[in-house]
Structure 1
Amino acid sequence: MASTCAKAALALLLALVATVIPEPGQAQVSIHPREALLPRGGSVLVNCSSSCTEDLSLGLETPWLKDELESGPNWTLFELSDVREDSSPLCFENCGSTQSSASATITVYSFPEHVELAPLPAWQQVGKNLTLRCRVAGGAPRTQLSAVLLRGEETLSRQPVGGDPQYPEEITFTMLASRGHHRANFSCRTELDLRPQGLELFSNVSEDVGPLRTFDLPGTNLKLDTPDLLEVGTQQKLLCSLEGLFPASEAQIYLELGGRRLTQESTTGRDFVSTTAFLEVTEKFDRSLPLRCVLKLADQILEMQRTLTIYNFSAPVLTLSQLEVSEGSQVTVNCEAHGEAQVVRLSGAPPGPPTAQVQFTLNASPEDNGRRFFCSAVLEVAGKLLSKNQTVKLHVLYGPRLDERDCLGNWTWQEGSQQTLQCQACGNPTPQLTCLREKDGAPLPIGEVKSVKREMNGTYKCHAVSSHGNVTRDVYLIVLYHRGPDYWVIIIVVLVVVTVVSVGLAFYIYNYQRKIRKYKLQKAQEEAMKLKAQAPPP
């Protein structure tokens, strides 16, 4: 089979040489093929020919094994074998006294012997440059060899592989790490593209490395939500949290108090993590304890620390010598603080500087019934003033009262109007109240009166009774209404008017007749006087 191929190649070369033999006087040497591509360790046929017609000798210079297969008057066919590197074989001739030469280019290709992607870092921070290194051993020609970075099946970057094929080459890929790269696998693929030479694209892929773990931390600090002061006997909620981290599910967060890790419950969200501890504060704790919140993610450790102050502060003791007394009794009010606390205020007591105890005495009056006494104590803890208060209520027993403010006593209402009658007795214990009308014992309509009637008119006696005495008060309810016509009155008035008119008329007639008689008498007297004057003297 090999002999048949060699003969076919030889015939082809001879035909080609015959077409390029120049005319006499233009002797020159030529080599065929001028360019050749073959796999490493492969063989190639090289033909050296000349146009020389004189005394001719042909030869081939090459570092590889060569065999002279056939020759003719002006050509020689050589076979080069086990070609391992690029080279330039040289055909030379001696044509008489003239020497000349021609060279060819042999390019050797080989697949990379080894492709490996260097191990990834344990963690990579989001937004930082991630460098991946692909090591390639062998592979030629390097001008047509490239390295491709893959994430799964996705192509991320492509770079040429340079350098000497005899030595391993490291190709560096740099990219910004993102949250999308978390838990991703990467690989490196070499591609030897011999398609321009009529061959194929040959590839070789490294093993996957990964998965890569990326992380992201916010620029904010841990949030420690807890009071600085813890009171003995209380349960306190201690909370530590952080938002904006990734991946939150792989973060560890815990609380330590005084170097001891607390029992806690952690909560994780998409980019949020928190831990909560409930602390029973007892007297066993030191007065001052460091609280430390620690978050671990990747190779990062975040801390937040706060000093907590433990204090014991009991409310002041407020006492009354008697909680329930009769009117006029003396009551002693006493307020006392404990420990380092001091009483700063006791309602009813004269103002003064803070002391451990404040006390005063009062004579109980009805106005003191239901009175609340207030006592306030303060304690300074870590430069802060804390206060606690206590209240006590006094009950004063006193007899019934029916004051003007409790029962108005005088009401004047229009018949048919809507009114509200308020009348109640005060006292402790609460007295029983009865209001009855004097003339018939009808009850006073206390409360809302939908429609006032004239029958309600009258004077009522209100009587309040309790175990501490009784009291009575007169209440007047006047109802205004319009009366109907009184015929007897009309008759009497008419009779009176008739009588008065008759008497007046009779008096007028009598007086008129008297005046007429007097006038006539006067006229008679005047006539008599006139006659007497006219008579002759005697």
Structure 2
Amino acid sequence: MGSALLLWLGAFGLGATGTREQVPFWVRLSPEQVAVLSGHSVWLNCSTSCPLVEMPSLQTQLQLGQTLRGPCWVSYELLDVRARNSTASCSITRAGETRGATASITTYKPPGSVILEPPVLVGGIYTLRCHIIHVFPVNSLVVTLRLGGRVISYDSLECFEGRHMANVTVTHQWPVRPRDLWQPLTCHWSLQLPGRVVLSSSAPVTLAAIAWSSQSKALACTSVTALGGLLLAVGGAYLRRCLARKSQM
């Protein structure tokens, strides 16, 4: 009879003392890593393998918004996220045991503008320069230059140590090649963020056969000015000669 009673108690998770045996459970907070546009909100979901007996506890320095609840989960809205890096932790207690999970939140700001300068040709080499304005995190930034669909330059700034918004300029030298002439040149950027990739590109410019440097432009302007002065001088002399002949007649 005693053995039968123990078997009956075991079937309901009870020991010989009449107390319920501790059932293992897990707690998850998802997504574990998330990137959010600075100043925007984000949702985190705290879930467990057992039905909730009491409300989970959420620890974070971020502002809490709405809360949604289901049988085994609770979703929290975090408002106006602006900190560069922050965390949130969810904990659940069941049968005297507390378990928890943590998520990390990263903010980002895409560039305010992307400026690709017109190529400058000096000594058979093009100088290509792209400006990425007001972006962070810079150490998540990748910049590529594409010519006619081909990647001709790749720059990753993962070693950048600054923690604030910054301007980035990427410069690349490219030799003159007949097949590259009149091809569209574009500057592409991407932010490699936790759980997402944000990307865009500049307006295209054309790799023309003639691209003047600033020195060449200055020399050309000087030459045009000198030629204009010479033409004026010749014209003035011709006009004086005509007037002199007319007075003699």
TM-score by length of 2: 0.59
Cα-to-partner distance string for 1:40-74 (whole Å, 9 max, x where unaligned): 969xxxxxxxxxxxxxxxxxxxxxxxxxxxxxxxx
What residue ranges of structure 2 are gaps of 5+ in the alignment?
1-12, 213-226, 236-249
Change in CA separation of 1:216 and 1:112 when aligned onto 2, cut-off 3 Å = farther
Q: Partner letter of residue 247 of structure 1?
A: P
Cα-to-partner distance string for 1:205-231 (whole Å, 9 max, x where unaligned): 32334x44432224x22122235xx55
Matched, 1:187 2:81: no
Q: Which secondary structure does the structure 2 equivalent of 1:249 belong to?
A: helix
Match of 1:125 among 37, 44, 49: 37
Change in CA separation of 1:231 and 1:160 when aligned onto 2, cut-off 3 Å = closer
Bigger RCO of structures 1 and 2 (CA < 8 A, at least 6 apart): 2
Which piece of structure 1 moves more, 123-132 or 290-299?
123-132
Match of 1:278 among 173, 177, 182: 173
Change in CA separation of 1:157 and 1:114 when aligned onto 2, cut-off 3 Å = farther
What residue ranges of structure 1 are gaps of 5+ in the alignment?
1-39, 43-80, 85-109, 193-200, 315-343, 352-538
Percent sequence identity over aligned pairs: 22
For 1:295, the equivalent position in structure 2 comes to: 189
For 1:359, the equivalent position in structure 2 comes to: none
Give the superposition deviation at 1:281. Answer: 3.4
Answer 1 or 2: which has greater helix percent: 2
Look at both structures and tell me which one has the larger radius of gyration over its CA atoms: 1
Cα-to-partner distance string for 1:471-524 (whole Å, 9 max, x where unaligned): xxxxxxxxxxxxxxxxxxxxxxxxxxxxxxxxxxxxxxxxxxxxxxxxxxxxxx
Aligned length: 196
Matched, 1:175 2:78: yes
For 1:225, the equivalent position in structure 2 comes to: 117
- Hey, what's the Cα distance between the residues in 2 that align with 1:238 and 1:83? 75
Give the superposition deviation at 1:275. Answer: 1.2
> Is contact 2:185-2:207 (8 Å) kept?
no
1:28-107 alignment to 2 at 5 Å?
Answer: none
- Hey, what's the Cα distance between the residues in 1 that align with 2:142 and 2:171? 13
- Hey, what's the Cα distance between the residues in 1 that align with 2:89 and 2:182? 55
Structural RMSD (CA): 4.3
Q: Which secondary structure does the structure 1 equivalent of 2:135 belong to?
A: coil
Match of 2:56 among 144, 147, 167: 147
Q: Which secondary structure does the structure 2 equivalent of 1:302 belong to?
A: strand
For 2:147, the equivalent position in structure 1 comes to: 257
Change in CA separation of 1:292 and 1:169 when aligned onto 2, cut-off 3 Å = same
For 2:137, the equivalent position in structure 1 comes to: 247
- Hey, what's the Cα distance between the residues in 2 that align with 1:118 and 1:216? 22
> Is contact 2:182-2:209 (8 Å) kept?
no
Change in CA separation of 1:309 and 1:158 when aligned onto 2, cut-off 3 Å = closer
